[in-house]
Structure 1
């Protein structure tokens, strides 16, 4: 069975492709054809590589092949192909990155926690290094105050993954296009989901995933500082729950935000 990769791995076409492969009937062989692919964005690189990896695992008895991918050197450099098991290009995190891009990076939550323990620091301090790297690409030459705000917001979002999601790992990727004066950052985890984590808060009444998503964008909702929850006194790393709220507001003012 031939499966065409879309022309653009942007948000719309990537989500459509993910739905398409989820609905594929069982077959002895699947051939993923990259002939049409001309453009990729961080969201598409992360989501499609993860879903192709998951598809391969779920169809272990079928033969999987990939063709017409050699021309996609950008995707190879960003770690896209090796992220789903094809031996082409660089591994996730292998490319050094620069002020214009961050390649696909996949971080183990357990490794991060072990490093924090061995270095005698809070997990938030290590995550702040990731957030600094990301905000430098996002802000470019804009105000330092904006960079600090984004660093805080992104740090809190990543902490949500580590502390709430129960995901074993997470990935992120970013790209700045100077010709368009546009930047995109994407973060992916495959945890229990926002609704399951917010259900731990006894003060919230959540009846659907949509309700959970809308609530998570309100200030203080996604943190651990709700009434009745015991927190360590004067803990500067207590999760405030403002990361999603602040980032969505900043992105909404000058661009877009997708959760």
Structure 2
């Protein structure tokens, strides 16, 4: 068996990370060189750790070098996420970051069922401390936006992904006025999730599924026509699914930074009025959000406007004239 030495890419080079994934998939055995990984960021750490983790499980990693136990990546759990034995200084939550960690989605779902509470409510409870660890605030625009985005993406994984695990990390850089959040679940992916809805069962590609998923009122579950239907059929009130979670979070992110979503063989990045697409190559669903904190106040104030635009769009294109309502949880930024 031939062994190839592969340089692990910088945490911030998205395209290079996917090329790295392809290299690992094609080789029989690899020695990983971590000497060039640079400054660790949540989006890169989550993605790289999943790629390397998959290769370790497949028996492809025969060794590694350049992985310092004293650096920030080790401190926040990156090498643990890679399933590589690198000593570290424990990071219980740090100053303004959430260490890379794994959530047992099945355990959370069982807890919600036993407690007779909707997944959305449980997600709301769980992400509060995460938002605090990242922002070091218990109120205000920064805390509220982090909590909102984490909650909507987490509940999306719980309600639609059918995965067992979810990996997540986040960080706030006060000096740069920036926040980055990232979540990866090992579920069935967006295309298969949407296919649960007969309306979207024949979506042609993963990229098409991604494009649909970030539109309003798109869901593997049905979109309801009235608040009465939500309460009567779901019994979940404000936590009912209305297909607006990814739409609202993507709009918030792209208006003050960027939003990246990848699933199967497709990914899409949104920033302002720009949109980029490319090859992804991992099962499950990956979502990264990067915000300019200086824009948060203005963005938070636009939530109602974003939802109204989405409702109008869905009414015209997806609901055959029926009134489309986003759930209260997607309309209100502060919970």
TM > 0.5 fold call: yes
Quick check: which one's strand share is greater?
Answer: 2
Contact in 1 for aligned 2:105/2:164 (Cα 8 Å): yes
Gaps of at least 5 residues in structure 2 are 262-335
2:221 aligns with 224
Aligned partner of 1:20 among 8, 14, 23? 23
Q: CA separation of 1:125/1:66 partners in 2, compared to 1, >3 Å: closer, same or farther?
A: same
For 1:5, the equivalent position in structure 2 comes to: 8
In the alignment, what sits opposite 1:74?
A: 72
Name the CA distance, whole Å, in 1 between partners of 2:126 and 2:159: 16
Give 1:104-183 correspondences, 5 Å limit. 104-136=100-132, 144=140, 147-148=143-144, 151-183=147-179
Give the alignment partner of residue 86 of structure 1, picking from 81, 84, 87.
84
Aligned residue number for residue 269 of structure 2: none
C-alpha change, 1:135 and 1:210, in structure 2 (3 Å) is: same
Q: Quote the offset at 1:146 in angstroms.
A: 6.6
- In structure 1, stretches of 5+ residues that fail to align are none
* Contact 2:103–2:166 (8 Å) recurs in 1: yes
Which residue does the alignment assign to 2:249? 247
Question: How many residues are paired up?
Answer: 252
* TM-score, length-scaled by structure 2: 0.66
Residue deviations 1:33-64, cap 9 Å, x none?
Answer: 112222221111111111111101212xx661
Q: Does the CA-based 8 Å contact 2:97-2:134 persist in structure 1?
A: no
Name the CA shift for 1:90/1:245 in 2 (closer, same or farther; >3 Å): farther
Q: Matched residues in 2 for 1:197 and 1:34: separation?
A: 35
Instruction: Provide closer, same or farther for how the CA distance between residues 11 and 129 of structure 1 changes in structure 2, counting only shifts above 3 A.
Output: farther
Moved over 6 A (4+): 137-143
CA RMSD of aligned residues (A): 2.9
| Partner of residue 237, structure 1 | 239
TM-superposed deviation, 1:71: 5.9
